Structure 1
Amino acid sequence: MTRLSRILLAVAIALGLVQVATSPAQAAVPNRWGYAYVNVPVGVPSLAHQAGSWPGGFNVSVTPGGAGETIVRFPQIAGPGGVAHATAVSTGPHICQVAKWMPIGPDQIVVVRCHQFGGAPTTVPFTVTWSESTPPMAGPGTQGFGYVHYNGGIIASYNSAFGANLVSVLGVGWYKVDMNGLGSAAVAGGIQVTAQNDLAQARCKVVNWAPGAVVQQIEVRCFNAVNTPMHSGWSLTYQRERNINGRWVPPKAFGYTFDHTPANPGPYAPAPAGVNYNSQGGVNTVRSTGLGLRMVTFPLVGYAIDHVQVTAYGNNPDHCNLQSIWNTMGGVATVRNVQCWTNVTRADRASFVSYTSTQ
């Protein structure tokens, strides 16, 4: 190949006119990942709800830390960056945040702290996930995936379109995230946000989403143990036709939905279809089971060894969690219920829900 030919080929690749084959290792997104449902204070949590990129023969383990704190050890997947998400699983108005994460030897440690609204630390079950991605990526052009870990500056960032993820501070505890290149022609995707704070109790949520053809623009707000806005670190993940950890194949069984009309008694399928994605072509539905209680059904994708995350949406301090562990039967995953709160009172509020299995 001549020098000119090499230059022309490089230009064509840069413009997306030529696709470059990558090895499976190169194309893997993410580099490493793990999730768990932590239902014990010490030992090995539920084997039915933990999975990761570690080799066979290893399990997630947990140990207690300080008040309301659980130290989660994901085996053999240590990495320097990434993002972490956690959701409380409780009948009460509880919030779980991620205090910090770091590699220790070959393992990835994620420290989760939980408290009830008002600030009292407490130990409750929770779901937790951590993943780390780096380019290059592979997948159909309709897919998109990105994340940001922010704490006074961008600590970790990934964008499957190779665009820049930018964060602007709009006010106290109020942030705007621009995920350039991850735009879509129609409104599509799902979002998860979790507070990251090692110094104070915090919770963060999505308060505005302005999808565009070029950029996904998302606003995050954070609050203290009551309802006062506060600066805090946080993790944000945007998924479009990928699971919460960024994988697109496998798994083949995952979905997400945006319950943007919580006053709708349902069952209803959130629209447009791009915010109500099901990897097997099923139609996810949402219905009310009581004030502030939303049952979400993911048909055709419900298999064991699965995971759920929930994030509240709306320009208010309200928050959401999971009322109980979800159920999978006959290929259907039923989340009963997403539970949302104004202070300590259940209220109908919008939320993002993400489901994945290892199938």
Structure 2
Amino acid sequence: MKPLKWSALALLVGSVVGCGVPEGEEAESVELGEQQSEIARGTAVPNGTYPWAVSLHTGATPSTGNVRCSGSHIAPGWVLTAQHCFDSNLDGVISASEFSANEIWASLDRTRISDTSRGQVIQGAQVFLNNTNDLALLRLASPSSAPIVQLANTIPAVNAAVTPAGWGLVNNSGTVPDNLQQGQFRVTGSNALDLFYTNVNTEEMCGGDSGGPVFTQVGGVVQVVAAHTNSPAGCGVNTGNATGSRVDVALPWIRSIIPAAYGFVWADQPSTAAYTPSSYYSHNSTGGTNTITRTAVGSYRVEMPGLGQSNGNVQVTAYGGTANRCKVSSWGPSGTALHVYIACYTAAGAAADSYFVAQYYRAGAGNPQQGAYLWANQPSTASYTPSRYYSYNSRGGTNTVTRTGVGAYQANLPGFTTIGGNVQVTAYGYGSHHCKVASWGTNIVYVRCFDAAGNPADTYWTLRYTDRHVANSGQRGAYAWLSDATSPTSTPSSWYQWHSLGSTLTASRSGTGSYTMHIPGIAAYNRTSAMVTAYGYTNTYCNVSSWFSNSSGGTDVNVQCRDATGGPADSLFTMSYITNL
């Protein structure tokens, strides 16, 4: 990659330049001008389109005045952009004359920079330079609720259509648009690090477009294939190739900087005031030691050091041979730690001390598998977009929830195209309600919730969906949907089971409502966790009664399902198993 050098004169006369804004020139040459229809000579993006696109600014606190570069929101609080936006000569060092992370402000979820009625402006906190490709990752000072975009793991073919977008200059006079611009380009080729593309009409990338997304759109799913880095002749109309740094070759680096974060516990001392759970069945991806505090009868606080952010997803199940049910009451950061509050009840709805399993998961960037989660926080609303702080969709779609009746909901997860996967659902809040998976398809999950008596009831809930992976960073484990509740033995559908070592799970029934899921080749004693959710439209519920290493070197997960009164009852269910082996 040729070093990119900046000067105001070069921009004005259309010499060969990159696409950042010149250092030291922002105040003089860059002003928010009237809305333009160019990128240059491109198209103004309709308001609300590409809400994951980011404009990067320098200046007073907080600033949206001086456009420095463009970028993409790829994980909550993380922006992918160009390295030369911070390290102008690409020498791997950010000097005093260059821009540090905290001199940059990110404007997110704003098609028009001046539209303060929506979106956020968040200061940068830390920057990571790729040093091989012209890419950088900007960590923001706080997570953003803006949608994220999917990252491609392949590059488009020659002549394929790609769309660059950004807030770069729209002419050689230094005019910056208020509105996000896009252009029509086609791929002309690539090398080991870069993607090359040229304009279809008269569009051209300009200063300030650096780091902006170059993306494809197939079936409504947007994938960023490159971050724009250089244009052949400034804002002039030409037939030369523009250049973008390939995202697919940088995915291992991106994932190493922004990995999935997760933690889980098996709470095995229900009446103890405070304790450290067994390390065999407790884990924290940051290396911290999880602890559990009993705050009242049936009420617990799980503390996970290092995981404190206002996002992610929590799933909970009761454990053991009782008819108790457990749910998540709330979760959130306390300093750098995550606090998860759990409430457990008898089948009749009375608070009760109980064993339980709790899992927390926060997705990383560039996850190649399908995955989503959400917190359904408006139980009586007909249709809504749940809180984006607690919502994730690996395809970049916006999850929504529709209420179809009392206690009946439909979670819409746009962008997914593969049948199968695994779904876990947990009721949320301080009442004794419980929720389950009713059914799911390619991109829709049906949820049913009930009160303690088994009647349909509106309530909050959380949902987690994974496909060909489980809720940890190493993608190690297994899942299955028990699709036969009455046969002595069965093999779950291959569409709805997965094993990280490629083995096949089987199931057995030992009595009414009593099942064992057999997971070959994975032992149960090294930081493992099992989660279960009942499946179907009735008011049955299921718990994990135990899991242990079997005589064949695998793991058996025992599940007990019950009716509304707490009596044994046959039921379908979904099970997810995590291991760190």
Query: After superposition, what is the alpha-carbon deviation per residue over 1:268-322, rounded to whole angstroms, capped at 9, x for unaligned?
Result: 2111x12111111111000011111011011123352101000000111110001
Q: How does 1:81-92 map to 2 (within 5 A)?
A: 81-92=311-322
Match of 1:204 among 435, 456, 459: 435
Q: How does 1:47-66 map to 2 (within 5 A)?
A: 47-55=279-287, 58-66=288-296
Give unpaired runs (5+ residues) of structure 1: none
What is the distance in 2 between the residues matched to 1:328 and 1:61? 28
Match of 1:218 among 421, 445, 451: 445
Q: Which amino acid is the alignment partner of residue 151 of structure 1?
A: N
Tell me what 1:125 maps to.
355
Tell me what 2:462 maps to.
235
Asked whether 1:279 is paired with 2:500, we answer yes
Q: Which has the higher contact order (CA 8 A, sep 6+)?
A: 1
Scaled by the length of structure 1, the TM-score of the pair is: 0.88
Query: After superposition, what is the alpha-carbon deviation per residue over 1:210-231, rounded to whole angstroms, capped at 9, x for unaligned?
Result: x23xxx2111111112212221
Tell me what 1:161 maps to.
395
Query: After superposition, what is the alpha-carbon deviation per residue over 1:175-204, rounded to whole angstroms, capped at 9, x for unaligned?
Result: 1011111221xx310110001113x11110
Q: Which amino acid is the alignment partner of residue 14 of structure 1?
A: T
Asked whether 1:262 is paired with 2:485, we answer yes
Check whether the contact 1:147–1:235 (CA below 8 A) recurs between aligned residues.
Answer: yes
Moved over 6 A (4+): 1-6
Q: CA deviation at 1:327?
A: 3.4
In structure 2, relative to structure 1, the CA distance for the partners of 1:325 and 1:301 (3 Å cut) is: closer
Match of 2:530 among 308, 313, 321: 308
What is the distance in 2 between the residues matched to 1:194 and 1:298? 23
What is the distance in 1 between the residues matched to 2:250 and 2:433? 41
Check whether the contact 1:88–1:95 (CA below 8 A) recurs between aligned residues.
Answer: yes
Match of 1:191 among 399, 423, 432: 423
Tell me what 2:174 maps to.
none
Q: What percentage of aligned pairs have identical amino acids?
A: 25
Greater C-alpha Rg: 2
What is the distance in 1 between the residues matched to 2:407 and 2:415? 26
Structure having the larger proportion of residues in strand: 1
Query: After superposition, what is the alpha-carbon deviation per residue over 1:206-250, rounded to whole angstroms, capped at 9, x for unaligned?
Result: 1122x23xxx211111111221222111110111011124x3xx2
Check whether the contact 1:312–1:349 (CA below 8 A) recurs between aligned residues.
Answer: yes
Match of 2:267 among 15, 31, 38: 38
In structure 2, relative to structure 1, the CA distance for the partners of 1:17 and 1:61 (3 Å cut) is: closer
Q: CA deviation at 1:92?
A: 1.6
Secondary structure at the aligned position of 2:254 is classed as helix
Query: After superposition, what is the alpha-carbon deviation per residue over 1:131-169, rounded to whole angstroms, capped at 9, x for unaligned?
Result: 2225x3132xxx211101111061221011112211101
Aligned length: 339
Tell me what 2:66 maps to.
none
Scaled by the length of structure 2, the TM-score of the pair is: 0.55
What is the distance in 1 between the residues matched to 2:348 and 2:566? 9
RMSD of aligned alpha carbons: 2.3
Give unpaired runs (5+ residues) of structure 2: 1-16, 20-39, 41-161, 165-184, 186-196, 198-211, 218-222, 226-245, 379-383
Q: CA deviation at 1:17?
A: 8.7
Secondary structure at the aligned position of 1:48 is classed as helix
Secondary structure at the aligned position of 2:361 is classed as strand
What is the distance in 2 between the residues matched to 1:313 and 1:33? 25
Check whether the contact 2:535–2:572 (CA below 8 A) recurs between aligned residues.
Answer: yes
